[in-house]
Structure 1
Amino acid sequence: MSRPPPRAAGIDGFPVAERPARDPETDLFLQRTIDALSPHIAILGESGSILMVNRAWREFAEESGMEVENAAVGVNYLDVCRAAEGVGDQAWRVHEGITSLLAGGRAEFKLDYDLDTPQGRRRFSMSATRIAGAGPTRIIVAHDDVTSLRLADDQLRRLLMQHHTQEDEARRQIARELHDVTAQKLVAAGLLIAKIDRQVGDGDPIARKGITEARLLMEESLTEIRSLSYLFHPPLLEDLGLAAAMRAYVSGFGRRTGIAMMLEAIGELPPLPRDAEMAFYRVLQEALGNVYRHAGSKTAVVRLYRQSGEIRLEIEDRGVGIPCTRADGHIDPAQSGVGLLAMKIRMEQVGGDLEIRTGPQGTCVCATLPDVMPPELPRGFTPARE
């Protein structure tokens, strides 16, 4: 025998059947409005009781085998959270968040969580918003199934990781070809030009002028080839370590761009896997590239140090900042373009993290990595030299 659908209630807490006759159209309009929305929506009263739910909420409760008394109008949502606290900390966090909303301590609460359903494990994004005005306070609770977005995000991350691995290998091969083949051919060509120069002597000024110009072009080309080789894969990273490679890159970046650079490398760093060193180095390249292309800053500071069990790399500028909707100035790399997301994924790939803070005074990119690496490193990780 099928259960009857839960009663709908008005926004002021009256069940529809008990509302004054002058308000049925408003109540029906509100119910139909939230029924048209795909997230599972409930409206809570000042005590945390459910006043109204939409069709998606009711259907999900029925499909999931949820007890109707835990999802229907009239149930206290906070009591349901308290009863479920033994299952995990998610229910406790929801309880605390909504309690804070009802008390006026915050205007919004958000939480992403996983849930086992008859259709399998799903990812949900919950948001609760406080609506306060002349009338009673109400809380709008919405649970949105973001499983497909999560799967797409995971796939994007896997593809970016694969791309990073292939890109680094391609960079290494190009750098080797430029250094070992192209540069050596230019050196040989330079020696031939010098030999011709000696044979021509001073008797042919036109030929001598051409030889001089050819030698200058050859030297400039050789310098550019070596610079490109270094940018593709810095030999100092393998020969002298992360701090030395960063110092050389920061110095060259300042010369090329005219931006006043400062590098603060504080203390000794522990040995790192080469993949981790490369991740830090690529973050430095990408972040400084953003400073040059977007920040409009005349100065930049790079800090590399060890603190509180972490190795930290900070790139800070005094530019225009990044558009940000959060009051604390934190940027979500996943919502701010492929370049920032790629930096974060690079750090996550080696067990680290990336944070970005921005404001009117500039932007700071901070990459972190635990300084105690796991005893068994993933395949492909090679410990750096002592």
Structure 2
Amino acid sequence: MLSGQRREFRLSYRCGDSFFQMTAAWFTHEGAAHVVVAHEDVTELASARQDVRDIAGRLLSLQEDERQRIAADLHDSTAQHIVAAGLGLMRVQAAAGDHQNVERAVAKVRSSLDEAHREIRTLSYLLFPPNLRANGLAASLRRFVEGFSERTGLKGTARVTGDVDRIQPEVQRAILRVVQEALVNVHRHAEASKVSVSLRRDPAGLHLRVSDDGKGMPRKRTKATAAPASLGVGIPGMEARIRQFGGTMTIASGVRGATIRAFVPLHGDTAVPHLLAFGTEHDRIELPGSPPNLRVLPDGNDSSIG
């Protein structure tokens, strides 16, 4: 820093049950280089953020349970009512005989019921993906994308490289849920014909990419997602899942579709939660919550499929 090669330095570390942060800033005065150093106890801040992370994890877990319940209700109850309505229409058509007006009206209603049945089956599948614990992340991801393609008619591809089945189960679940939510958005809004999912593990961590060739995200919606993420469905929920493990997420949207990229750092075979990712000497590590973890690029030039 005194040589001017670095302008700032930040070190966060743990000592016993306490957390501390040292920051240094470089400046010049009367032609000479100086460094001002500050050291502070951030135990309360780290503890508060750990509490927030724990609450966020519990809320996401509750959200997941609720989604599974809704998916089961759609599949077991609502879909059955639609099937029963279709059978009732068949009886109405048989009783009407050769009356063409009745037959045309029944045909329109039946078409609407068939479409509603397909939509419910698709959404119930998207809300309740394959068994992660039994199949592992790689197989679950491939099966999920395959099932998505079968139910929606979109051409979906999934590519997984690296050993992703040995990472922390909570991280596996978060990755699968992010893909799940991304495909729901593609199905509902993108008007796409193709979607690709890529998950890669390297020494730094997990790299996830979901892209489609649809119409992209409207600018007004893109601006809304640039606000601080909160728990909930859609993009804020996706970002919250990635952020709880110290990861980042970016969205690039343009005329060739939208691309979501997420990165989760890994240490060994597990992911270190953001609130506990304190560094060692000479590392520059930010305390959690300082920079925004979500960047939205409304006019991205990323190739949407590949």
Please list, as runs of the form range in 1=range in 2, the aligned pairs for 1:5-154 lying within 5 A after superposition. 101-115=1-15, 121-154=17-50
Identify which of 100, 109, 119 aligns with 1:205. 100
Please say if residues 286 and 343 of structure 1, whose CA atoms lie closer than 8 Å, have aligned partners that are also in contact.
Answer: no
**Residue 302 of structure 1: how far off its partner (Å):** 2.4
Equivalent pair of 1:126/1:142 in contact (CA under 8 Å) = yes
TM-superposed deviation, 1:177: 1.1
Distance 1:104 1:272 in 2: 40
Distance in 1 separating the partners of 2:108 and 2:252: 50
Counterpart for residue 229 of structure 2: 337
Equivalent position of 1:189 in the other structure: 85
Pick one of 354, 369, 380 that aligns with 2:247: 354
Cα 1:306–1:197 shift into 2, 3 Å: same
Report the Cα distance in structure 1 between the residues aligned to 2:165 and 2:123, rounded to whole angstroms: 29
Matches of 2:81 and 2:101 in 1, distance apart?
26
Deviation at 1:316, TM superposition (A): 5.7
Aligned residues: 241
Structure 1 segment 147-296 matched on structure 2, within 5 A: 147-202=43-98, 204-235=99-130, 241-249=140-148, 255=154, 263-266=158-161, 270=165, 277-286=172-181
Cα–Cα, structure 1 residues 307 and 106, in superposed 2: closer, same or farther, change >3 Å?
A: closer
Which whole-Å CA distance do the structure 2 matches of 1:225 and 1:193 have between them? 19
- Evaluate the alpha carbon distance shift between residue 146 and residue 122 of structure 1 in structure 2; reply closer, same or farther with a 3 A threshold: same
Structure 2 residue 262 is matched with structure 1 residue 365? yes
8 Å Cα contact 1:264/1:302 also seen in 2: yes
Name the residue aligned to 2:209: 315
> Which residue type is aligned with residue 354 of structure 1?
G
Task: State whether residues 236 and 245 of structure 1, in contact with CA within 8 Å, keep that contact through their aligned partners in structure 2.
Answer: no
Q: Amino acid of the residue matched to residue 129 of structure 1?
A: A
DSSP-derived class of the 2:35 partner: strand
Residue 179 of structure 1 and its aligned partner are, at CA, apart by 0.4
Q: Find the aligned partners of 1:290 and 1:165 in 2 and give their Cα distance.
A: 20
Structure having the higher Rg: 1
Task: Give the counterpart letter for 1:182 in structure 2.
Answer: T
CA distance in 2, matches of 1:102, 1:289: 52
Partner deviation per Cα, 1:244-285 (whole Å, 9 max, x = no partner)? 113444787895xxxx97543458865889765432211224
* Structure 1 unaligned regions, length at least 5: 1-100, 321-334, 374-386
The structure showing larger relative contact order (alpha-carbon pairs under 8 Å, at least 6 residues apart) is 2
* Secondary structure at 1:125 match in 2: strand
SS at match of 2:247: strand
Q: Secondary structure at the match of 1:110?
A: strand
With over 3 angstroms needed to count, the CA separation of the structure-2 counterparts of 1:209 and 1:285, relative to structure 1, is same
Query: Contact (CA 8 Å) 1:315, 1:365: kept in 2 or not?
Result: yes
Query: Does structure 1 conserve the Cα–Cα contact (< 8 Å) formed by 2:7 and 2:26?
Result: yes
Q: 1:196 to 1:288 in 2, by over 3 A?
A: closer
Q: Which residue of structure 1 lines up, in the alignment, with residue 222 of structure 2?
A: none
Structure 1 residues 341 and 181: CA distance shift in structure 2, 3 A: closer
How far residue 215 of structure 1 moved from its aligned partner, in angstroms, is: 0.7
| Alpha-carbon separation, structure 2, partners of 1:206 and 1:271 | 62
Structure 1 pair 211–317 and aligned structure 2 pair: CA distance change class (3 A): closer
Instruction: Mark the CA change 1:267 to 1:149 in structure 2 (over 3 Å): closer, same or farther.
Output: closer
**1:163–1:106 Cα change, 3 Å:** same
Judged with a 3 Å threshold, the aligned counterparts in structure 2 of structure 1 residues 232 and 217 are, in CA distance, closer, same or farther, namely: same
Are the structure 2 counterparts of residues 213 and 236 from structure 1 closer, same or farther at C-alpha, using a change threshold of 3 Å? farther
Closer/same/farther in 2, CA of residues 152 and 289 from structure 1, 3 Å limit: farther
Q: 1:249–1:138: structure 2 CA closer, same or farther, 3 Å change rule? A: farther
- Change over 3 Å in CA distance of 1:162–1:291 after alignment to 2: same
Q: For 2:32, what is the secondary structure of its paired residue?
A: coil
Deviation track 1:13-53 (CA, whole Å, cap 9, x = no partner) reads: xxxxxxxxxxxxxxxxxxxxxxxxxxxxxxxxxxxxxxxxx
- AA at the equivalent of 2:6: R
TM-score, length-scaled by structure 1: 0.50
CA distance in 2, matches of 1:140, 1:180: 65
